[in-house]
Every structure is written in structure tokens, then in C-alpha cells.
Amino acid sequence: MKLVPARCPSCGAVLSIPDGLDKAHCVYCGSLVLVRESRSNGQECKVCQGYGRIDVCRACGGSGKCSWYDASSAHGKGDIYVWAKYGTVAHCDEGQCSACEGQPSGGSLSPCPFCGGTGKCPRCLGTAKCPACRGVGVIPGPSGSDECPGCGGTGQLEGAPTKPQELSACPECGQPMVAKASFCGNCGFVNACPRCGSEWAKGSLICPWCGYKKGGRV
């Protein structure tokens, strides 16, 4: 069965609809989607990955840090030593298991019941980053609360990339700018994507055309 892309007019979710249907219901919010009117054209925005919105990561609340926490008293009933040494709660402490303070058991005694004796947080595996958003703090979602600054909430980029203006002075700080420069050397204002050369969307951290991230690659 061939699937075609479509977009929900209510929540902005990108859907895959069987070819041949004129209408369907959104699997996220239940709204009626007229398939022929909502099929996607153009390039998918790389900032929001076609969703049109950017969600704050629900796993970490947007902090980007691992929020693992475990409370258990089951192990304390049968092993007093383990209960006395490790307690009944543990959390991620900069990537380490707080119950054993990052020290693997290594011996014949029972290993830490929370991390299994590795000394690392079992959720982020020692990275201290939220595994859901990989430390970014935001993830694309069909019912996000923030409109994507790269595509204006449409999820799609129509036509060809717009070439930026050649500025003699930075519009943010007023300082002179080097001809054809992508960034203002004084305040960091972004005029053009250094990878693809397209106009940089104001307020965006990622180029919607090629996915280049401000300050580095993605």
C-alpha cells in the first residue's frame, strides 16, 4: 500500500495517508483532514522536521539534563546490607548513580541495585544528558507550544532559499560588517547560513534549509 504525506490543519502533525483517500482523521487530535488539500509540497523544514512546531522536551522540562530518579524498597527486605549501604532512592548525579556515588561494587558483595554495579546512571549511561532529547531540551512534536521560527509554523519551505542582503552595518548593534559575512563579529547576529548561504531566519538556531546549527553542525 502506497502512503502519501499530509498535514493536519489543527495540530500540524505530519501524517501518512493511504493513497486514494480524499479524507482521513488525524491520529493525534482526531481532526478531519482533507487529504488532497493538505498534501505536502516543497522541502521539509529541518528545524521542526516538518511538524511546524517545536515542543519543550517533556522528559526533562527543557533542561536538557537527565532526570532519572528511582525509589524502591523492595531490595531492602531481603538484603539489609544493600539497604543500609545504598538506601532506597537514587537519582542521576552528573551522570553517576547517587546511591553508590559512581563506585562500582567490583567485589563479591551485592552490587548497587539501582545501577547494577556500573556506577553510572542507567538512563543516560553517564552522559548526564536527557536521553529523550539528547541534551537539546526541545524535540519536534505534533502538538508543540512554540511555532517553528525557521518555517513560520508551516512545516514546509516553499521555493528556493532566499539570498541574504549584503549588509554594510549590523542591524542589531550597528557595527560595520565585513562584506558577504555570515555573522557579525561584534554581537553574533546571523545574516546568512555559513553552509548553504541562504538567508537566516531571525530567532532560529538552525538553518531551516540545510540543518546547520548556529555554533556548529547538527
- pLDDT tens digits, 46-83: 777 777 777 777 778 888 899 898 887 655 555 666 77
Rounded Cα–Cα distance for residues 26 and 11 (Å)? 9
Decide if pLDDT at 141 tops 80: no
pTM attached to this predicted model: 0.43
Cell triple for residue 43?
522541502
Q: Do 120 and 105 form a contact (C-beta atoms < 8 A)?
A: no
Q: What is the mean pLDDT of the chain?
A: 78
Rounded Cα–Cα distance for residues 218 and 214 (Å)? 9
- Nearest residue to 131 via CA among 68, 74, 191, 189: 68
Scan for cell 547517587, then name that residue: 98
- Percentage of the residues of the chain whose pLDDT score is greater than 70: 82
Q: What angle do CA 91, 92, 93 make, to 5 degrees?
A: 110
Decide if pLDDT at 41 tops 60: no
Q: Do 163 and 197 form a contact (C-beta atoms < 8 A)?
A: yes
